Amino acid sequence: MSTSIDTDYALAEVNLALTPEAKVQILREMVRNRAFECVALQHYQAGRMGGFLILQIGQEAIPVAVRSMMGPQDHSICSLRGMGTAIAAGMSMRDGMAELFGKATGCAKGKGGLFGFYAPEHHHWGGHGYAATQTALAAGLAFALKYQDKAGAVFCYLGDGAVNQGVFHESLNLASLFNLPVIYLVENNGFAMGTSVRRSSAINGSLAQRAAGYNIEWDIINGDYVYELRAKLQPAIERAYRDRRPTVLEIATYRFEGFAIADANKFRYRTKQELEERREYHDPLHLWITQLWRENLLDQYGLSRIRADAFAEVKDAANYAKASVFPAPAAIMDDIYWEVDHATAAGSTGRHFFSP
Ligand SMILES: Cc1ncc(C[n+]2csc(CCOP(=O)(O)OP(=O)(O)O)c2C)c(N)n1
């Protein structure tokens, strides 16, 4: 197992500034992320949840490292592969698990499932099902920060399958033109559903290179390593804070599960051997544990405690979700449209722009 790459980035200023407790906290967050998704998977397979279950297992270092670099003035927004990103942002496991169970106590009152993973109190704005739509919303959020003369940046996640959508290119153009403090994080896990990057992208050596066409700085990161992620995020964050300029970061990663849990083809577009190799040698969680081990910041007892705490938290969340009630049928239209909630004429007629 190679950790030499991360050892080099350990010397980056932003990593030298990390306290031992902060490093262990990063591990705690990664373990919480994985525990949440593993337990969600068990309940999904037991038939307790409907819809899709789209997991980030194998990609956890990214949202956790990104969050470790964010301040209270920053915002995040992501695609449909974003439950772990919401948990890393600060959403409680109870809010998330109840949402997956479709219960009224969930973060979107049981009406959104994983597409409803919003945590506005933590500046996390979902959870978007249509590939790349969040890239335009991120530009809008960044524009709002600038327009209102507020500090901060917007961290927008998207997948490799989203980089060829027109809306992403419009967003890049405007982000550059208007000098917006937005950081686009392309999580390149190699596949859009079952389509490989090689088959979907005309330029596939580097997805981030598209940014050059819009006069935007870009970089490529190995997303298995926390230190590398943090080191390479730092210039992008400075650029957003200081220069109000966007950045595109392409982050190489790998998802251990299928596209969604119901992915009948998951061994047709990649081999079992490839998957086993990734799990064995490139699991970001194991790599970070090894790193902390080498730095004498972790022992077996400490690791067991972290795991036990995470699983206790997620078990409590699942019990809470099970015990919660489903939303009442009469509430089906509540909290969906502002116009309905505020009893406007448009809310009662459904007509927003045209007279009957
Ligand atoms: C505009 C649009 N077209 C098609 C789909 C169907 N779809 C859902 S996820 C997905 C692939 C997304 O791949 P990627 O962006 O690489 O994200 P990943 O699933 O790898 O995290 C597609 C094509 C969609 N959601 N939105």
Kindly report the pTM of this predicted structure: 0.95
3-22 burial, b at 16+ Cβ within 10 Å, e below that, comes to: beebeebbebebbeebeeee
The pLDDT of residue 79 is 97
Q: What is the 3-state secondary structure (H, E, C) of the chain?
A: CCCHHHHHHCCCHHHHCCCHHHHHHHHHHHHHHHHHHHHHHHHHHCCCCCCCCCCCCCCCHHHHHHHHHCCCCCEEEEECCCHHHHHHHCCCHHHHHHHHCCCCCCCCCCCCHHHHCEEHHHCEEEEECCCCHHHHHHHHHHHHHHHCCCCCCEEEEEEHHHCCCHHHHHHHHHHHHCCCCEEEEEEECCEECCEEHHHHCCCCCCCHHHHHHHCCEEEEEECCCHHHHHHHHHHHHHHHHHHCCCEEEEEECCCCCCCCCCCCCCCCCCCHHHHHHHHHHCCHHHHHHHHHHHCCCCCHHHHHHHHHHHHHHHHHHHHHHHHCCCCCHHHCCCCCCHHHHCCCHHHHHCCCCCCC
Residue 336 has pLDDT above 90, yes or no: no
Window from 132-141, 229-238, 323-332, 341-350 with minimum mean pLDDT: 341-350
Distance 305 CA to ligand 1 centre (A): 37
Same domain, 127 and 140: yes
Residue 354 has pLDDT above 80, yes or no: no
Same domain, 194 and 142: yes
- Kindly give, in sequence order, each residue whose CB lies less than 8 Å from that of residue 153, ignoring residues fewer than 6 positions away: 74, 75, 142, 145, 181, 182, 183, 237, 240, 241
Same domain, 48 and 90: yes
Same domain, 348 and 275: no
> 105: which strand partners?
none
Same domain, 157 and 274: yes
Of 1 and 258, the structure prediction assigns the larger pLDDT to: 258
Distance 295 CA to ligand 1 centre (A): 39
Distance 127 CA to ligand 1 centre (A): 13
pLDDT in tens, 96-147: 999 999 999 999 999 999 999 999 999 999 999 999 999 999 999 999 999 9
Same domain, 259 and 343: no
Tell which atom from ligand 1 comes closest to the C-alpha of 188. 16
**Which residue type is seen at 104?**
A
* Pocket mutation for ligand 1, best pick of 53, 57, 60, 79 (most atoms within 8 Å of C-beta): 79
Residue 351 has pLDDT above 90, yes or no: no
Q: How confident is the model at residue 257 (pLDDT cuts 50, 70, 90)?
A: very high
Residue 6 has pLDDT above 80, yes or no: no
Is any ligand 1 atom within 6 A of the Cβ of residue 193?
A: yes
Of 310 and 5, the structure prediction assigns the larger pLDDT to: 310
For residue 98, give the CATH number of its domain: 3.40.50.970
Q: Are strands 191-192 and 195-196 parallel, antiparallel or unpaired?
A: antiparallel
Q: How confident is the model at residue 2 (pLDDT cuts 50, 70, 90)?
A: very low
Same domain, 264 and 347: no
Same domain, 185 and 303: yes
Tell which atom from ligand 1 comes closest to the C-alpha of 132. 1
pLDDT in tens, 268-315: 899 999 999 999 999 999 999 999 999 999 999 999 999 999 999 999
Rounded to whole angstroms, how far apart are CA atoms 284 and 233? 17
Residue 17 has pLDDT above 50, yes or no: yes
pLDDT in tens, 50-95: 889 999 999 999 999 999 999 999 999 999 999 999 999 999 999 9
Distance 200 CA to ligand 1 centre (A): 12
pLDDT in tens, 176-233: 999 999 999 999 999 999 999 999 999 878 999 999 999 999 999 999 999 999 999 9
Q: How confident is the model at residue 1 (pLDDT cuts 50, 70, 90)?
A: very low
Same domain, 178 and 274: yes
Distance 237 CA to ligand 1 centre (A): 27
* Pocket mutation for ligand 1, best pick of 80, 83, 184 (most atoms within 8 Å of C-beta): 80
Window from 49-58, 74-83, 234-243, 346-355 with minimum mean pLDDT: 346-355
The pLDDT of residue 338 is 84
Is any ligand 1 atom within 6 A of the Cβ of residue 137?
A: no
Greatest alpha-carbon pair distance for the chain in Å reads: 71
Instruction: Scan for tokens 């989203």, then name that residue.
Output: 162
The mean predicted confidence, pLDDT, of the chain is 94
Q: How confident is the model at residue 4 (pLDDT cuts 50, 70, 90)?
A: low
Of 338 and 310, the structure prediction assigns the larger pLDDT to: 310
Give the burial class of 309: count Cβ atoms within 10 A of its Cβ; 0-12 exposed, 13-18 middle, 19 or more buried. middle
**C-alpha triplet 245, 246, 249: angle, nearest 5°:** 140
pLDDT in tens, 285-294: 999 999 999 9
The pLDDT of residue 18 is 98
Same domain, 312 and 352: no
The pLDDT of residue 356 is 53
Tell which atom from ligand 1 comes closest to the C-alpha of 129. 25
Same domain, 224 and 351: no
Is any ligand 1 atom within 6 A of the Cβ of residue 302?
A: no
Same domain, 237 and 341: no
The count of structural domains within the chain is: 2
Range of the domain at 278: 4-323
